[in-house]
Amino acid sequence: MTAPLRWRVAHLAAVRPETPSARTLVLQVPDWPGHLAGQHLDVRLTAEDGYTAQRSYSLAAPADGDRIELTVQRVIDGEVSPYLIDTFAVGNPVEVRGPVGGWFVWQPTQPDPVLLIAGGSGIVPLMAMVRARRAAGSRAPFRLIYSARTPAEVLYTAELHRPQPGDGGLDVRFVYTRQTASSRPPGRITAYDIASAGWPVDFRPRCFVCGPTGFVETVADILVGLGHDPRQVRTERFGPTGGPDG
Amino acid sequence: MDEQYQDGNALAGPLSEVFAVDVTAATTHCASCSRTGPVATLRVYGQSPGLVARCPGCESVVLRLVRGPTSIWLDLRGTMHLEIPLADASD
């Protein structure tokens, strides 16, 4: 990034449904400069009367030329997400600014073990890291712990349940809080989940935690309590509604 | 303080209108309690006009950003200093 960013117009190129309440938007952005896994895109909608609403979404995958992907989770009574899920159609324009953010990012040149812990749609930037690892042929050992309410609410479920070429060295553990498909009883993530599916402390993994504020605080406290260096724990919260007023 | 906050990652877009480098990866030194840490770890409240970023240690206001029609006001009086990494900031 060498100059302040400006808003530019992107167009919706394709859509992929993910769950009944989430879909992935493929945007065509002319002269997209590329981005790092974990970075965001700001999206601005303007109504006919000039009222604007702006949200920040995590980029979900490495760029494919000028094409980038966001996954949008519906926020009930939100201002932006219902439009992006129900109305925004292929060919429609939208204003975007990005990529933004330089702290909650992973780069394929980093060889250290990585522990990713997602709560709900907090999986999106972490999935970008998994995909960036695959795309770069990185051998950094990855473990992902993904907490969701039910199996039906898991994003990217096929991709995460079926290892893709290049995903050797990636382990995925699901934690369900309401209704489960495994022998683990439903319930919120615990220190046992993280200790058993994460890395030993002396591996000094980089930890990336993303989810609702309460989830992130809980997980960050558990990681530090287990002995992980707080400087190795990077967090990203979205508001309790799943985004700033979604 | 209620729990309706985001973290400093949310400042990345708004600050990108002002700065040519990513400031969320910069380290701040809180003028009130002397805590140091990345801007990305501040607690950001957006209910007031503009954005208010508070120290996660002492809840003092570290940074305020208000965008008007013709200018942006950036209030950094709660920041003793900002340490901005020169290389691409990831470590």
Q: Where are the domains of chain A?
A: 8-100, 114-238
Q: Which CATH architecture has domain A8-100?
A: Beta Barrel (2.40)
pLDDT given at position B4: 74
Residues of the domain holding B68? 6-80
Q: How far is CA B75 from the centre of its chain?
A: 10
In a domain, B89, yes or no: no
Q: Across residues A156-178, what is the average pLDDT?
A: 95
In a domain, B91, yes or no: no
Least confident of A150-154, A155-159, A182-186: A182-186
pLDDT, tens digit, for every residue of A40-60? 999 999 989 988 888 999 999
pLDDT given at position B1: 45
Who wins on pLDDT, A205 or B69? Answer: A205
| The length of chain B, given as a count of residues | 91
> Across the interface, do A100 and B40 touch by the CB < 8 Å criterion?
no
In a domain, B90, yes or no: no
pLDDT given at position B89: 45
Q: Across residues A13-21, what is the average pLDDT?
A: 96
H or E element: which one contains A197? helix A191-197
In a domain, B38, yes or no: yes
Contact A52, A94 (CB under 8 A): no
In a domain, B14, yes or no: yes
Q: Across residues A66-76, what is the average pLDDT?
A: 95
| The length of chain A, given as a count of residues | 246
pLDDT given at position B65: 95
pLDDT given at position A77: 86
pLDDT given at position B88: 55
Question: Which pairing describes strands B72-75 and B61-67: parallel, antiparallel, or unpaired?
Answer: antiparallel
Spatial CA neighbour of A244 closest among A86, A23, A80, A19: A80
ipTM: 0.85
Instruction: Read off the tokens for A214.
Output: 């309460």
pLDDT, tens digit, for every residue of A136-147? 999 999 999 999
Q: Across residues A23-39, what is the average pLDDT?
A: 97
In a domain, B87, yes or no: no
- Which parts of chain B have pLDDT scores under 70? 1-3, 87-91
| pLDDT category of residue A33 using cuts at 50, 70 and 90 | very high
| pLDDT category of residue A97 using cuts at 50, 70 and 90 | very high
> Across the interface, do A103 and B21 touch by the CB < 8 Å criterion?
no
Chain A positions touching B46 (Cβ under 8 A) are 244
Report the gap between the CA of A166 and the closest CA in chain B (Å).
Answer: 24
The β-bridge partners of A8 are A96
Instruction: Say if domain A114-238 classifies as CATH 3.40.1710.10.
Output: no
pLDDT given at position A246: 53
Chain A positions touching B21 (Cβ under 8 A) are 1
Q: Report how many domains make up chain B.
A: 1
